[in-house]
Structure 1
Amino acid sequence: MEDNFNIMYNEVYYFLQILGDKYINKIPKDLYNFIKNQQVSEYKLKV
């Protein structure tokens, strides 16, 4: 069972990808990379 916080990172990263570079560039680059690295690789977001 994965931690819910890691699953949350997947969801945040997924929606940032939908919103695009305009929004990705508004958050600090190190925060974006942290979110990207904390994802759970096996978890796929169901929309």
Structure 2
Amino acid sequence: MRQGHAKSRHSCFRQQSRKGINEEGREDLIKKINEHATNVDGK
């Protein structure tokens, strides 16, 4: 029963992360890319 609960929670988390990639993930990616670009330019 414990394993089944963990599995269902994992699948729910995957669905949430998928939505996050579509909406918030893009902004996070852009921020990371911009930060990386500034770091490279600085060096």
TM-score (norm 1): 0.37
* Larger relative contact order (Cα-Cα within 8 Å, sequence gap ≥ 6): 1
TM-score (norm 2): 0.40
Q: Which has the higher helix share?
A: 2
Q: Find the structure with the greater CA-based Rg.
A: 2
